[in-house]
């Protein structure tokens, strides 16, 4: 009986240690070039989920502005942003995380949405509904969704 209690307590403590705190949008630390070194969740990104976010209109919808050859099954790739083929060879994880979370920290004047911003908008809207929102708004992507997109983009390497 005593061994079972010890095993249960050890399992609970280990499980609790595996869960990291999510970094809130206002607490994100950028380096001087806009990169975010620390994971927003402490949990590895899922490239398969990142791919889904990239093509889902109600989520990131990255292909609305970017062309990605690997996502040729999804229609209507945009030409506003750069082609993302080989992006995993051009930028590291921290740089990609910073660009996705708050592109304007890296590229002042960028048209790319800040996917992890909750305040300071010029004309806020309620997500992708077309309705006006009031601050603080939720970020367009959750912290783990950003980690997932980063994980997917890192798979897009030059051959």
> Percent of the chain having pLDDT more than 90?
68
User: Is the full-model pTM beyond 0.85?
Assistant: no
CB 157 within 8 A of CB 131: no
Cis peptide before 136 (omega within 30 of 0): yes
Nearest to 146 by CA among 50, 23, 38: 50
- The fold for domain 22-154 equals Cytochrome Bc1 Complex; Chain D, domain 2 (1.10.760)
Does the pLDDT at position 22 exceed 70?
Answer: yes
pLDDT in tens, 76-91: 999 999 999 999 999 9
């Amino acid at each position: 009986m005593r061994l079972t209690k010890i095993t249960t307590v050890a399992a609970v403590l280990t499980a609790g240690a595996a869960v990291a705190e999510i970094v809130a949008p206002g607490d994100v630390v950028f380096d001087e070039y806009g990169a975010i070194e620390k994971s927003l969740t402490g949990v590895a990104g899922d490239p398969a989920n990142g791919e889904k976010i990239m093509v889902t209109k109600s989520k990131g919808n990255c292909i609305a502005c970017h062309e990605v050859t690997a996502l040729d099954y999804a229609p209507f790739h945009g030409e506003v942003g750069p082609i993302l083929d080989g992006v995993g060879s051009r930028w590291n994880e921290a740089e990609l995380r910073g660009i996705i979370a708050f592109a304007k920290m890296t590229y002042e004047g960028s048209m790319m949405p800040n996917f992890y911003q909750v305040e300071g908008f010029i004309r806020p809207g309620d997500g992708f509904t077309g309705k006006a929102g009031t601050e603080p708004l939720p970020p367009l992507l959750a912290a783990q969704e950003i980690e997932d997109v980063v994980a997917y983009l890192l798979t897009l390497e030059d051959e």
